[in-house]
Amino acid sequence: MKAGPDIAMIAALVGDPARANMLTALLGGRALTASELAHQAGITPQTASSHLSKLEVGGLIEQEKQGRHRYYRLSDPDVAGVLEGLAGLAARAGHMRLRTGPKDPALRRARICYDHLAGDLGVQMLDSLRKQRLLRQTRQTIELTAEGERFMAKALQIDSAALAHPRRPLCKACLDWSERRHHLAGTLGAAIMARFTELNWAARDAAPGSRVVNFTRSGEKRFAALFGESSD
């Protein structure tokens, strides 16, 4: 047996359809109960419990107890990045689910990816930040420039210095599955999305399991003023 990371074990955990559905549901960043995840996966609560135990032992999810309830969430942003990357690979290879609906265009336009903005608007925002030279990117390495720090403080009241985290970078490129280009992750990406919510520019769709992010009319105008008009 070759030494090194066991990719096959992770692939086996993600590769089961029921577990893949539960992980995708958690990609929205919210903590969900076993019953909610069972519903998302279309399986019984007993079967869901077995799957969740395997995912937890495998380090892909973690649980939090609150009263009589147990909530599950992805263990860290790296898991979310892997899932988003796999979704992009599946899309490029033509492995798409056949069922579509009215939420599909909205999901592609703007959605939550763990805790940051993804979809067309997420990619548009990163493109704009680069063009304005507020971010400097070399492949997947992204740095916030001095001008970018001033922009974040003035335009969004975000103190980038306060976002330092020992296990998570300030800026990170996350491959967007629908746009097949990068959007902005990291603590800065999360802070920007949180700020959009605080300013009432955007809000998560209230439907269970939905990852759609809806921008208000005012929020779209403010977003466009900072990051340009959408190409849609």
User: Distance between CA atoms of 165 and 205, rounded to whole angstroms?
Assistant: 28
Q: How confident is the model at residue 229 (pLDDT cuts 50, 70, 90)?
A: confident
Residue with tokens 């902005």: 184
User: Distance between CA atoms of 45 and 43, rounded to whole angstroms?
Assistant: 7
Q: Which residues pair with 116 in a beta bridge?
A: 113
**Would you say 189 and 168 are in contact if contact means Cβ atoms under 8 Å apart?**
no
Altogether, the residues listed in the chain come to a count of 232
Regarding pTM above 0.75, the answer is yes
Q: Which residues pair with 141 in a beta bridge?
A: 138
pLDDT greater than 80 at residue 208? no
- Residue 103: the pLDDT is 56
- Residue 2: the pLDDT is 66
Domain boundaries, the chain: 7-75, 99-227
Helical H segments across 93-203, by residue range? 103-109, 120-131, 146-156, 186-198
Q: What is the pLDDT of residues 61-86, one digit of tens each?
A: 999 888 888 899 999 888 988 898 88
Q: What is the pLDDT of residues 139-171, one digit of tens each?
A: 768 999 999 999 999 999 999 999 998 889 999
| Residue 145 CB-density burial (10 A; 0-12 exposed, 13-18 middle, 19+ buried) | middle
Residue type, 195: R
Order of strands, sheet of 69-74, starting from the edge strand that comes earlier in the sequence: 32-33, 69-74, 61-66
User: Distance between CA atoms of 20 and 32, rounded to whole angstroms?
Assistant: 15
Closest listed residue to residue 27, CA positions, set 127, 107, 144, 104: 107
Domain 7-75 belongs to what architecture? Orthogonal Bundle (1.10)
Residue type, 96: M
Residue with tokens 């400097």: 136
Percent of the chain residues topping a pLDDT of 70: 94
Q: What is the pLDDT of residues 34-61, one digit of tens each?
A: 999 999 899 998 999 999 999 999 999 9
Percent of the chain residues topping a pLDDT of 90: 60
User: Distance between CA atoms of 115 and 79, rounded to whole angstroms?
Assistant: 12
